[in-house]
Structure 1
């Protein structure tokens, strides 16, 4: 065997192993949702006939629909306002640079190093003062100003040609018109990538909703899954797997629908 053949075989072997490691957890969840809890505990990994039974038990015992609606509502509102706020901030930081704007941007980046758990108490006090505890708004507001998205958008705005902006200004276009009619339409891929990130971050958010959402009807899917794993008596792992399967479906659908735009956005595409 030649050296090139060995390298190619080694590369494919590593890729196959990586693919198996990535796909197997999802298959295990699917298999668990179609078997009984006892079969799952015994290590059965083949698809079983109890999927509908587990789904019935899940929807009959728990408020899955309410949790799904809460999660979808919070995630969609977060995505819309987060993309608008962070892209506007990033555009301002990149295209209207001043000495103070660079310092403020540096402070924003430093905020990424602060763990969220260190900010929970003052954040909770703020929400309590605004009387927003146990509301979806309390979950949405802290997620809108994402420092990572500001950084992500600014890096992509660097690739947007200044000549286009200058030409628009010469033609009499204002800054608002330039941003919404020229910049945004030509950076659809960037916004798609940011939307996927914002949606997944909001959908998987657990710690802050656990603190600020206190009534059962306000719970999100992540909190519901946590409840499934915290039964007082015997945990029904099959029902738990069915709940996890439902919880990951929206993220999977969003990613596959916007996969092409996501990849283009990560590579810095500025074309629509």
Structure 2
């Protein structure tokens, strides 16, 4: 009887799951078909995956674009986790009225759209090009520096720090640990699920970042994978089979990271500590 009562819920969940997974299944199917078949809306898998991949590697530097994206995404993730967790930990563990005011101002920055600061940000990096070329326009650093941490990630780590048992810090101080020692030897290992969730969010956001790299990266050899896919679609007669193959390849790293860390991601998002 309970099964019949719950059947509308199950039907709704099945439909929602189908709608969610359909775009990915369509990408996989399209990557195995010719461009004309994709244009005609064919949903059945074909036999042209290897041909599409071969033509893709002949047209563009796929490996270079993947390396550029990986380099930027991994560096951004490492820096973001370190700095955002230090900030969130400091805001929560060493609370004061002044810090709360600074934190509230930091949260206000989330309301400013990136497009509003993009032009002055580009001008700033353009000036850096004449002084410090290593962080100027058309460098990996110019992509990483504005995006390696966000107000949301600091807020996330502060909220996670609320679940951290403060008596562990007192025990560490009694044992003679410094404040940095408390952070790296007690807080970081204890909050590993929060770090896993933060790593997934940051890596996926950095890997799929399109607008800022489009503005600041000007050399073809420094393009990231989203820019490469965009360039494939901007030709006079785009080959949709090749484009879908590139899209499929570009989703593999983020899908792999998510599936390997999904348990930690769920635990980290609900604030649990192991």
- TM-score w.r.t. structure 1 length? 0.96
Equivalent position of 1:171 in the other structure: 175
- Aligned runs of 1:226-241 on 2, under 5 Å? 226-231=230-235, 233-241=236-244
Aligned mates of 2:254, 2:11 — CA distance in 1: 29
Residues 84-111 of structure 1: CA deviation (Å, up to 9, x unaligned): 0000011110011122111100001000
- Runs of 4+ in structure 1 off by over 3 angstroms are 4-7
Q: 1:91 aligns with which of 77, 89, 92?
A: 89
Equivalent position of 2:24 in the other structure: 26
- Aligned runs of 1:146-157 on 2, under 5 Å? 146-157=150-161
**RMSD, aligned α-carbons:** 0.9
Work out the number of aligned pairs and report it: 268
Unpaired segments of 5 or more residues in structure 1? Answer: none
Residues 153-188 of structure 1: CA deviation (Å, up to 9, x unaligned): 000000101111112112221101000000000111
Equivalent position of 2:271 in the other structure: 268
Q: 1:248 aligns with which of 241, 251, 256?
A: 251
Equivalent position of 2:203 in the other structure: 199
Aligned mates of 1:139, 1:193 — CA distance in 2: 22
Equivalent position of 1:13 in the other structure: 11
Equivalent position of 2:42 in the other structure: 44
- Alpha-carbon deviation of 1:259? 0.7
What SS is found at the alignment partner of 2:111? coil
Aligned mates of 1:265, 1:108 — CA distance in 2: 22
Aligned mates of 1:151, 1:7 — CA distance in 2: 41
Residues 10-52 of structure 1: CA deviation (Å, up to 9, x unaligned): 1110111011111111111111111111111122111101000
- TM-score w.r.t. structure 2 length? 0.96
